[in-house]
Amino acid sequence: MKKIILILLVALFATASGFAQPGGGDPAARLQREIEGITTALSLNKDEVAKITPIVTEAQKKQSEAFAKMRESGSFDRDKMREERTKMMAETDKALKAVLTAEQGVKLDEFRKKQAEERAKRMQERGQ
């Protein structure tokens, strides 16, 4: 009987972990997803990936630090966080475009637009 309960609990936790938010979690995994997304969307080669990786890494570090400060200060304002994120993404994209071709810059804009649409869809599904 105890084994059955244990098996059911393990199955329950395994199933529940599958419903975790896709954007959250491990910062290294989030960074890897972002780099892979940009690499695929822009058809980057190894040299180009090597150029964008430090830019994306630094941007994600700054964003995490800024959001952590907001949470610690007790001023967890979603609108302010969204505004700050938009500003940081614009700065990141400007730095990325400095090392990309003009065609890749256009593809980056398209990629960001697609990301925004997907994010808006997820937010709408969650009812926020």
Domain of residue 33, residue span: 26-126
Residues 110-120: pLDDT tens digits?
999 999 899 88
How many residues are recorded in the chain?
128
Residue 88 lies in a domain: yes
**Total number of domains in the chain:** 1
Residue 3 lies in a domain: no
Angle 22-65-37 from CA coordinates, rounded to 5°: 40
Helices (H), 1-128: 2-17, 27-42, 46-73, 78-99, 102-126
Do 108 and 97 form a contact (C-beta atoms < 8 A)? yes
Query: Residue 128 carries which side chain, given as an amino acid letter?
Result: Q
Residue 1 lies in a domain: no
The mean pLDDT value of the chain amounts to 81
Distance (Å, whole) CA 43 – CA 55: 17
Mean of pLDDT values over 17-46: 79
Residue 105 lies in a domain: yes
Both tokens assigned to 96: 């990325």
Residue 108 lies in a domain: yes
pTM of the model: 0.72
DSSP state of 19: T
Residue 114 lies in a domain: yes
Residue 21 lies in a domain: no
Question: Is the model more confident about 11 or about 71?
Answer: 71
Do 64 and 43 form a contact (C-beta atoms < 8 A)? no
Residue 89 lies in a domain: yes
How many Cβ atoms from other residues are within 10 Å of residue 38's Cβ?
A: 24
